[in-house]
Copies of this chain bind each other. A is one copy, B any other.
Amino acid sequence: MSPDIETLIQKISRLPGLGPRSARRIVIHLIRNREQSLEPMLMSMDNVYKNIKVCPVCSNIDTFADVCSICSDNKRRRDIICVVESIANLWAIEKTSCFTGQYHVLKGLLSSIDGQGPEFLMLEELQKRCDENHISEIIIALSATVEGQTTDHYIKNFFKNKNIKITSLAHGIPIGGELDYLDDGTLFAAFSARG
């Protein structure tokens, strides 16, 4: 195998969810379909490489514009900010179109294991945004994991005496979930939050 191809296989095998075997399959597919697959892939990747920018307002990632398309969209509500852990979660929320406000993307959750302290939350920036614009509500939309809930508490505590309404996503039975397959924690949360 030529060193060029071997290098590409190695690089692809380091992507999340892939290994040497799947990387080899992908490279063979790309090589076999040089015009239909490899060339467009290359151009598309180059586009993203050249154009990605981190939005200075919400830390979302976008191409072309300096301020991301969500922050600059005039049709979206400007008085409500949703705190998410990552762009992946932002995309997931955007896909449902259930939220039409602004975002605040964290650099990561609080995690003593990974050495991620409060500076990852950029709460001063968020505070500044709240002061400059009239923000009526901050929605904390973090995962229901230990790190997620710790971060949720920390953010709530930070904004405690600052006269801003802070809410978190509800915990309960997921739609389509069967009661007898749910874990105790979820059932407990669903009971406590019944209404």
The listed residue (B18, B38, B69) touching A45 by CB distance below 8 A is B38
Q: Within 8 Å of chain B (Cβ to Cβ): is A150?
A: no
Number of copies: 2
Q: Within 8 Å of chain B (Cβ to Cβ): is A61?
A: yes
The interface size of chain A toward B, counting residues with CB under 8 Å, comes to 48
Residue on B with the closest CB to A12? B41
Contacts of A37 in B (CB 8 A): 11, 14-15
A residues 38-72 near B (Cβ < 8 Å) are 38-42, 44-49, 51-52, 61-64, 69
Interface SS, A side: helix
**Interface segment out of the listed A27-35, A124-132, A154-162:** A27-35
Asked if A15 and B26 sit within 8 Å, CB to CB, the answer is yes
Asked if B11 and A44 sit within 8 Å, CB to CB, the answer is yes
Q: Within 8 Å of chain B (Cβ to Cβ): is A193?
A: no
